[in-house]
Amino acid sequence: MAAQPRRYGGGSEIVNQIELSIEQKLSLAQSFVNHPVQGELIDYKIKYINVLEWFVNRFSPNDIFSKQLLGNYKVGLLGVEAINYQYNDNIEELLKITAKLRLKKWHWFSYRYLLLIDILFLCSFFDPIKANIVVEEYKKQLKLWFYKNKYYRNFNELISELYVEQKRDLQFDAIDDVILKWQKNLEFIVQTPKKILITANMSAGKSTLINALTGKRIVKTQNMACTSKVHYIYSKAFEDEFNYKIDGEVCLNADINYLMNNSESNTDNKILASTYFRNFIVDKPLCLIDTPGVNYSGNISHQKITQEVILEKDYDLLIYIMNAEYLGTDDEHRHLKFIADNVKDKKIVVAVNKLDRFNAREDDITLSVNEVFNDLKKFNLNNYRLCPISAYAGLLAKEKLWHDDIDEFDVDELELLRRKLKKEKYNLSSYYSDILLQDSNNRDFSKSDKKYFELLANCGILPFEKLITE
């Protein structure tokens, strides 16, 4: 049976695209946490990856994404043993071992179906026509003699389940998690990502806000001009613990150093990246557009680049970040005027950041927010929302909720901010009374985690996320 294009949205939308865009490829997630092969011996894992590599070499020899995704299989399944990996191209012997072995948990179920899914993911994801060609080669190399027709029929049914919308087939329950992740990926990337452009003067906390929205330290946060490039950060369907980056070259296993340092050889002013966005609000594709700070005196091109991106209008929402410690500066007024004059057909969110640094004895958050509101009237901004936030508190709260290792300094800051923002004078959630949020009592949190979820609300980031994503 030839697989047909998969239908979504109650049959109203047909996926007929064969070639994935760069942005769609960046949104593809892998996961090896619950991969059944994880429980096998290292020798079997190596042979399993050997098979994947044979098919990649045959069907996607010039596809850098396939090659890099294959590299992630080596890292994800072999771990530190990946350094000892050697390629063996004896496909007939490899398949005799890898395809016939039965899953430890499901003794009646062999790896031949899981192996096929991984091959298709690397060679023909989103391409049912190519998938059928790959399957025919798979059949040829398997050299099945006993129950041949049964297995061939099952292969076709598996292809149909992956590429054509239909009821779940109970015969593949053993690899249910893998199939669900395939389907989640597919349904995720066919959606157009909501593009959110973020702009600010230097030291307003733009990078910290981006890190708070992703829940990870994916961009630099130093109080300095880090780059003159525009970063497009795409979300993934689920957590795979891999960060992707295209900075002249493709890297789908970018470590923190590679993420933080831009390539000088890349002459393009764009850098593309992707990661899973940790949030409790939305499960839809997003793209955060990180622009250079506009008032960097060391390089006037930063302002020009950012203004050009703003004028291109290739975004759905614009976020302008203000530093609550330095409101009403000339630089701020100039940039606000540019936005007001040139962005009249897009929604605008004005985020007043760093309010956690206010001293209640000397500063008044409510008064400062009202002053900003009155100041904005001068610029005749259309369709805007004023949002008080503490991006730093939001980032720390997410890191704690996702059980990241944070240093001693950040632990102290986290506890200080949790206590501070819980107080009525500092609680920023009061500015979002029109936005309904799910209470922490309705979530499956431990007792210790509940207080950090509450911090996420109190610092304004939780309602802020709901506002900008919905």
Query: How big is the chain by its Cα radius of gyration, in Å?
Result: 25
Cα–Cα distance between 172 and 158 in angstroms, integer? 8
User: Identity (one letter) of the amino acid at 354?
Assistant: K
pLDDT band at 308 (very low <50, low <70, confident <90, very high): very high
Cα–Cα distance between 437 and 337 in angstroms, integer? 33
Report the pLDDT averaged over residues 217-245. 84
3-state helix, strand, coil in the chain (%, to 5): 50, 10, 40
The number of beta carbons lying within 10 Å of the beta carbon of residue 88 is 14
> Which pLDDT does position 54 carry in this prediction?
98
Find where tokens 């001009």 sit.
225
Report the pLDDT averaged over residues 247-276. 89
Which SS3 state, helix, strand or coil, does residue 79 take? helix
Extract long-range pairs of 375-380: CB within 8 Å, 24+ residues apart.
375/327, 375/328, 376/336, 376/350, 379/333, 379/336, 379/337, 379/339, 379/340, 380/340
CA-CA-CA-CA torsion sign (97, 98, 100, 106): positive
**366-378 per-position pLDDT tens digit:** 999 999 999 999 8
Integer angstrom CA distances of residue 258 from 252, 261, 288, 363, 423? 11, 5, 19, 40, 40
Per the CB < 8 A criterion, the answer to whether 199 and 335 are in contact is yes
Cα(first)–Cα(last) distance of the chain, in Å? 40
**324-343 per-position pLDDT tens digit:** 999 989 999 999 999 999 99
Integer angstrom CA distances of residue 123 from 54, 87, 152? 11, 18, 20
- Among 68-72, 111-115, 339-343, the range scoring the smallest mean pLDDT is 111-115
Answer with the residue of higher pLDDT: 453 or 448. 453
Cα–Cα distance between 196 and 318 in angstroms, integer? 6
The number of beta carbons lying within 10 Å of the beta carbon of residue 325 is 15
* Nearest alpha-carbon partner for 184 in 83, 276, 60, 313: 276
Mean pLDDT rounded to a whole number for the chain: 87
In this prediction the pTM is 0.91
> Which pLDDT does position 33 carry in this prediction?
82
Q: Which domains does the chain have, with CATH numbers?
A: 19-189 (no CATH), 194-227+278-284+293-469 (3.40.50.300)
Name the percent of the chain lying above pLDDT 90: 61
**407-438 per-position pLDDT tens digit:** 999 999 999 999 999 999 999 999 999 988 87
Per the CB < 8 A criterion, the answer to whether 169 and 161 are in contact is yes
pLDDT at 144 over 80: no
Non-local CB neighbours of 54 within 8 Å, separated by 6+ positions: 89, 91, 94
Cα–Cα distance between 97 and 47 in angstroms, integer? 8
> Which pLDDT does position 8 carry in this prediction?
35
> Which pLDDT does position 4 carry in this prediction?
41
* Nearest alpha-carbon partner for 322 in 364, 363, 293, 360: 293
CA 19 vs. chain centroid, Å, equals 21
